[in-house]
Amino acid sequence: MKHHHPKPATDDHGRAHDHRALGRSRLRLAIIVTAAAMVLEVVGGLVSKSLALVSDAGHMFTHLFALGVSYLALSWSERPATGDKSFGYYRGEVLAALVNGITVLAVVAFIAYEAVTAIITPHAVRTTEMLVVAGIGLVVNVITALLLLKAGKDDLNIKSALVHLVGDLGSSVAVVAGGVVMIFTGFWLLDPILSLGIAAVILVWSRGLIR
């Protein structure tokens, strides 16, 4: 007669540990890639005179923060829970959220001011440069989402970060589409209009941080 021995609990623990390690490594890579794309969009926006591109970089910033929070949550979940440490982590998370909320408000205010100024006195946008950089940003968002997709199936922290990235994909697609429209129509007002739309999206996505 064959005897079936139960799997050691350490096997399940080891698999869970490996899964979290994979999630952390993918989140870390996503943070690095997103940060690089954000800087590229800021520089590209200034060079191409596209406020929509700079606004998309601002949107990336809010999601970069979400990725960072998810990464820290995964890291902290592996540490032994104690009352003092848990309280310290909570305070750190609250402080980080407060700083991020204030920064988001500043970014939105800047975008809104520049957009209104551009609507009053519209200017031409260097659409070729804008489209190249916006296209790179879109590709980066797709790659980052794919990186997290597999790791996020069983982890709420990564799923949360993935939801933010899907939102960022939407604004990147809008910027690319806006660039194409401006190439064929010369309707430069579309750039600040897109910027106001992205600013509104940033506020909606970040409302939990600035309440």
Indicate the pLDDT class of residue 82, thresholds 50, 70 and 90: low
Q: pLDDT per residue over 19-53, tens digit each? A: 566 667 878 888 898 899 999 999 999 999 999 99
pLDDT (0 to 100) of residue 9: 47
Fold topology of 26-210: Alpha-lytic protease prodomain-like (1.20.1510)
4, pLDDT greater than 70: no
pLDDT beyond 90 at 83: no
- For residue 78, pLDDT beyond 80: no
Give the Cα separation of 206 and 101 in Å (integer): 7
Q: Can you tell me the mean pLDDT for 189-201? A: 93
Amino acid 30: pLDDT: 83
Residue range 169-184: average pLDDT? 92
Instruction: Report pLDDT for 114.
Output: 94
Sign of torsion over alpha carbons 153, 159, 165, 167? positive
Looking at per-residue confidence, does 147 or 38 come out higher?
38
pLDDT of residue 13: 47
pLDDT band at 59 (very low <50, low <70, confident <90, very high): confident
Residue closest to 165 by CA, chosen among 42, 10, 73, 29: 29
Give CA separation, 91 vs 69, 83, 97, in Å.
Answer: 13, 12, 10
pLDDT value of position 63: 79
Task: State residue 55's pLDDT score.
Answer: 93
**Residue 121's pLDDT is what?**
93
CA 99 to chain centre: 16
pLDDT of 181 > 70? The answer is yes
Contact predicate 54/46, CB 8 Å? yes
Q: What is the pLDDT of residue 104?
A: 80
Domain boundaries, the chain: 26-210
